[in-house]
Amino acid sequence: MTQPTKQALFTLIIWGIVTAAFIPIFFSRGGPSTYVQDKPRFVFVAILFGAGYLSYFIMMFLTRARGRTDKIVRDERDEHIQGQSSGVALILVLVYVFFLCITLYEIYRESGCVPVGWMWFLGYTTVFWGYISNSALGLVLHSRMVGRGKS
């Protein structure tokens, strides 16, 4: 497994776990309408988010290219895959934010205000979706290139 593939896999795992833990915590005990006032839940999610980033940075450090070797760690194909996955992931994140905002507008249009907890949800999940989509797309694109004898 190449270094970029290993990093993409671990990124997917780390942020997948954080997202899977975040969703039930966020929607428990009143959901978005009580999220900001529920300090223990608010703090726990912030710690979870911080733990996700700490794990991510530790993983990036442990899977970095080390020393000077004759072995190629990252080549043009890896750069091409990363560029493609980042471009598509950006579009996916933009579409996600757009549709969530429009959905929230439609749901809360009559009341005239959206509970502020939804802004926290949008912020957190945009980060999660960005990492997850980019790493998943990188893994898919890499597997397609390997499957066609271009490894």
Write the CA distances from 10 to 4, 65, 82, 135, 138, integer angstroms. 10, 15, 15, 9, 12
pLDDT at 67 over 70: no
- Under a CB-based contact definition with an 8 Å cutoff, are residues 9 and 139 in contact? yes
Q: Does residue 70 belong to any structural domain of this protein?
A: no
Q: Does residue 58 belong to any structural domain of this protein?
A: yes
pTM of the model: 0.84
Residue 7's domain comprises 3-64+75-146
Which tens digit of pLDDT belongs to each residue from 70-111?
Answer: 565 566 777 888 888 999 999 999 999 999 999 999 999 999
| Of residues 79 and 10, more confidently modeled | 10
Q: Does residue 25 belong to any structural domain of this protein?
A: yes
- In this prediction, residue 65 carries a pLDDT of 74
Q: Does residue 69 belong to any structural domain of this protein?
A: no
What total of structural domains would you count in the chain?
A: 1
151: pLDDT confidence band, cut at 50, 70 and 90?
very low
Which of 78-82, 109-113, 119-123, 144-148 is the least confident region?
144-148
pLDDT at 3 over 90: no
Mean of the per-residue pLDDT values for the chain? Answer: 89
Percent of the chain with pLDDT over 90: 73
